[in-house]
Amino acid sequence: MIGVVASPSQYSAVEEFFELFKTPWEFCKTDRNYEVLICADDGTAPHSSANLTVVYCGRKLPIDAFGNVEITSSRRGRRVLSGDGMRIPIYGDSVTFANDGACILRDEESRHPATYTACAAGGGTVIRIGYDLFDEVNVLLIEGQPCENASIPALEFHISVLRTLIVSSGIPLKEIPPVPSGYRFIACLTHDVDHPAIRRHMFDRTMFGFLYRAVITSLFGVLRGRASARMLFTNWVAVLKLPFVYLGIAKDFWNQLDTYTRLDGGGRSSFFVIPFKGRPGSKEGKLAPSHRASGYSAADVAAVTQQLQSEGHEIGLHGIDAWHDKSKGREELDEIRRITGEREIGTRMHWLYFDNRSPAVLEDLGVDYDSTVGYNEAVGYRAGTAQVYKPLNVTRLLELPLHVMDTALFLSGRQHLSPTEASKLVEAIIDHATEFGGVVTVNWHDRSIAPERLWLDFYAQLLDECKRKGAWFASAGDTVRWFRRRRAAKFDDLDLKAGKLKHPETAERLPGMFLRVHNAGFLPLHNDDMSRGSSVESAQTEAVDTTLHRG
């Protein structure tokens, strides 16, 4: 059992951290002894006989003077710590030390240690870490990471460091990892439905933008080696067909939702639909740009979305003002409920409009989950995690973070990558998921496999890579439901001999979970075999995974 000492202002961050690092813990009780004590309340740990005490603080503490350890630097943010292949940006207060002993993390610039180890008076081990873990969790889950750190799953690294400290100190550890039984990670395929038909755009910004990119940008793409002659030919043919599309003679080449159902390989995907056309919404008390307004409404595509539902796919709300306006949000949500006949609806905001108050607004509206937290300009981990998490200012709403978006990868003015460059970034995200578990949430817009974008080949390769790496393909709703089940699991309900959770069976057909037991010994910061959920046995390390079924 882990005991935690923290200030009351950190309690919500502590609770959410241990939903992500699913291992037995409790706030420290003075009448109880713990194998591990985590102290983040200015390092003022109560007298304890813990085998391991981990003291997190980004300021100088009495323990440093007692151990005669010199502080070499003190800083607010703008520090990156590195160790064993990890790079962890620190956003709050941090310090480094002058000790010469072994350490697991160092300042990337100065190479000064950010940790040191000392002996406690009672014979246990004290590990001092020069930042406050739960302040970092607060920053990651509320403010998020800047684009320059998008590729770093910082929260997963924080979990990995703590896990390593515990097991390498000779203390067994059990956890329920964020990995569905029988899989390596979750691949969540989502599609924002922004332009389901070019026929709805005649002599407007969208149509002229299409013509420019299909004719001019495609040509320059070929000349610069960023596009193929086949793509240029396809786009120019689409331009020639456009008058016939408007006349209803030729098929609308932006109508691709049925293509996605075939591409997604029989898995359940999520389609986020705009409720009302012609509404740009507002931001900071002003009207949003007029071109944010949609050329269609949910009612216009009702027949298509109902067909998608009949095939097992999910329809969510692509919100306009729901992120900040309860009255308008309720109107938007009710429209999607009316079209779909579903009560539980998930959301993603159009153009990823969002702020720190949005989770509370959406929870008040009765939204089941949100999937807006991501980047317009980059791919990666805005919240520092590949796991579904609960924003710290709500009680039930969960956030499914967005990791990979087509427009962030390829559009000019954003990352504007070649397919080869984009593959390296996306493969790194998938590799992190196979190592730590969690979900890779993909957003491929409805028109992105059509002229003029033609990003179909890359999307198909992404799906193949996820299949090859052992993903469970799930809708956004199913992904969130699986994480809700994991969050509801209690270690008191474990029957280790039977390998079961004492929870009633539910009607949801979701993969099970498994219990991972790390026996005492050396645990590398990155152990690929363990992250796959396999049994690992050696003279130093043993991990035992027990599948947990609903019994």
- All residues at 6 or more sequence positions from 153 whose CB lies less than 8 Å from its CB, including other chains: 381, 384, 385, 386, 432, 436
**Domain spans, the chain:** 2-143, 185-196+254-482, 198-253
- pLDDT band, very low/low/confident/very high, at 500 (cuts 50, 70, 90): low
Q: Residue 68: what pLDDT?
A: 78
- Put simply, whether the predicted model's pTM sits higher than 0.75 gets the answer yes
- 2-143 carries CATH number 3.40.50.880: yes
pLDDT at 526 over 80: no
- pLDDT tens by residue, 404-432: 999 999 998 999 999 999 999 999 999 99
**Interacting residues of 42 by C-beta distance below 8 A, sequence separation 6+:** 7, 57, 59, 61
Distance CA 205, CA 150 (A): 31
Distance CA 271, CA 190 (A): 6
| Structure token pair of residue 91 | 């956003």
Query: Which pLDDT belongs to residue 226?
Result: 85
Written as six digits, the tokens of 43 are 């390092």
pLDDT of residue 267: 78
Structure confidence by residue, pLDDT tens digits, 386-410: 999 999 999 999 999 999 999 999 9
Instruction: Tell me how far apart the alpha carbons of residues 142 and 432 are, in angstroms, rounded to a whole number.
Output: 22
Rg of the chain's alpha carbons, rounded to an integer? 25
Place of tokens 């006989």: 49
Report the pLDDT averaged over residues 222-250.
94
Q: Are 390 and 399 in contact (CB under 8 A)?
A: yes
Cα-based angle 442, 447, 451 (whole degrees, multiple of 5) = 125
Is it the case that residue 347 has pLDDT exceeding 70? yes
pLDDT, tens only, 14-40: 999 999 999 999 999 888 889 999 999
What pLDDT sits at residue 545? 56
Which fold, 185-196+254-482? Answer: TIM Barrel (3.20.20)
Asked if residue 145 lies in contact with residue 382, where contact means CB atoms within 8 angstroms, the answer is: yes
Report residue 88 as tokens. 């962890």
**Rounded to an integer, what distance in angstroms lies between the CA atom of residue 311 and that of residue 47?**
60
- Element spanning 155, H or E: helix 154-168
- Spatial separation of the C-alpha atoms in residues 115 and 98, rounded to whole Å: 10
- Predicted confidence (pLDDT) at residue 501 exceeds the cutoff of 60: no
3-state secondary structure of 545: strand
For residues 292 and 281, the answer to whether their CB atoms sit within 8 Å is yes
Contact 52, 35 (CB under 8 A): yes
pLDDT at residue 520 in the model: 58
pLDDT reading at 506 higher than 80: no
